Amino acid sequence: MIATALQDLWYGFGVALEPHNLLWCFVGILVGNMVGVLPGMGPLATISILLPLTFGMKPVAAILMLAGVYYGAQYGGAICSILLNLPCHPPHAVTCLDGYPMTKQGRGGVALGITVIGSFIGASFGITEMIFLAPVLVSVALKFGPAEVCSLMLLGLLAGSTLARGSPLKGVAMTVLGLIIGICGADIETGTPRLTFGILELYDGVEIVALALGLFGIAEFMKSVNQDIKIDAKYAKVRVRDMWPSKDDMRVAFFPWIRGTLIGSMCALIPGTGPTIASFVSYATEKKISRHPEKFGRGAIEGVACPEASTHSSVQGDFIPTMSLGIPGDTVMALLLGALMIQGIVPGPQLISQHPDIFWGLIASFWIGNILLVILNVLMIGLWVKLLAVPYKLLYPSALFFVCIGVYGANNDMFQVMLTILIGMFGYVLLLLGFHPAPILLGFVLGPRFEENFRRAMLISRGDITVFVDIKNHPISTAFVGLSVLLIAVQIYLWIRRTNWTALVKTPKVPVTPSEAEG
């Protein structure tokens, strides 16, 4: 098995090192690193903007570029968090707790050095995990029938919605909305139009480019256009020689790197968790087991090393369920799934055998990209620091311009531009009401496949809904349904614990006489 994996990896390096693939991989990580540094931008909006560009590209080059944007942004995001105390991306919010205090102590360069090394360690483990674990998952997944695939997608949808930011109930509502949008258009079996409202342009369904750019381009622009982030760059001067940690720093950071890497890799295997939850769990764990927990929040190296290693291990590990099972670990993975589907490639158990150039070329590009990112973040640290001074108000108007160009260029259709604007306005309203639109994309991508496998399972079982919990004939499906029920039960239990029932039950006594009212 090891020899076969190494042979396949060697083939992947041959694919990734082809000049045009290597060029697009470099473009992806460079753009991702830049986006990560800039406050207010993010990989989700950037990948949405770049999605129309991939229509004219070969599938391997397209996925290498988009994946490079994703994991490249994680490197850049740490710079902004440590030097400016601005968590540009949710996974790096916990890095601010100890990264910025180290910067104020004059050790910002050391914090960045610890981050770069920990990021590479975490990413390397995540890549290795993908090399050996993904083929095992595929061998198991090949035994899946429609009932098993449907149950697995149900678990992924629930995990992605209930573990998302904010209220789990709102997350479920957004996922259901995504499912509804996903079935818009002509029925794939009967051809009957659904939810088209008589609009001919909707008979082919809603384009993923319009949905993604509307929700994560237009809506974010409308939300952030009036923001004025105060950037204090007086601590942000870092030279290359300042980034090299001492032997004592390396000794302190070594085991937090290892623990963070393991926590991140385990979180990556759970659909819906993503790097944000991995970073917070690893930080809380490190603080819990530390002999000196009082140092955390005051510039502890462990508080930077552990979550950053966990973030990058989780980011690379997220590709395991995405590429091998077709179940996205988070919203960015759902967008990458959509990019593959645009190219006519269906992610899942057949991907490795039918498209080995994409799977193994992607894995090989991870090694190449992470090595390039280490070099970029060390040698070009001065440039990234200067980028921090870019005015925030200039970022989103320029991004909005590329959104409109990208949507129109996808199909040369002004209807898609108008649809994107309408979706963006709707997404902005959702943000104002506290509904995060990320689960919509998850439901949109998985919805049609969920419906297709549900129909197949019903046809095979002659309409017997208990086929999903038939422990004798479908034990895997039963296990996934059981995990889904357990996930819902845990969320209900946590909601009950958070609710102050005493305050709800007790009501103030209403005075019935003037004397009682005065008293």
Q: What string of DSSP letters covers 432-458?
A: HTT--SHHHHHHHHHHHHHHHHHHHHH
pLDDT for the residue numbered 62 = 87
Q: Which neighbouring-strand residues pair with 261?
A: none
For 406-425, what is the HEC assignment? Answer: HHHHHHCCHHHHHHHHHHHH
Residue 219 and residue 213: Cα distance in Å, rounded? 9
Please tell me whether the overall predicted TM-score, pTM, comes out greater than 0.75 for this model: no
Mean pLDDT, to the nearest integer, of 353-358? 81
Q: Where are the domains of the chain?
A: 2-499
Query: CB of 42 within 8 A of CB of 396?
Result: no
Per-residue model confidence as pLDDT tens digits over 68-106: 888 888 777 777 777 776 666 667 777 878 888 888 887
pLDDT at 516 over 50: no
Is 266 exposed, middle or buried (CB count within 10 Å of its CB: 0-12, 13-18, 19+)?
middle
The angle that helices 302-317 and 274-289 make with each other, rounded to 10 degrees, is: 150
pLDDT reported for residue 391? 63
In this prediction, residue 290 has a pLDDT band, given cuts at 50, 70 and 90, of: confident
- CA torsion angle 140 438 278 267 (round to 10): -10
The answer on pLDDT for 232 being more than 60 is no
Residue 502 has pLDDT above 60, yes or no: no
Average pLDDT, the chain: 77
Q: What is the pLDDT of residue 315?
A: 82
Residue 472 pLDDT level (bands cut at 50, 70, 90): confident
Mean pLDDT within 333-353: 77
pLDDT in tens, 361-377: 888 888 888 888 888 77
Q: Which two tokens stand for residue 488?
A: 């819902």
Report pLDDT for 427.
Answer: 85
Mean pLDDT of 296-320: 83
Query: How far apart are the C-alpha atoms of 441 and 331, rounded to whole Å?
Result: 7
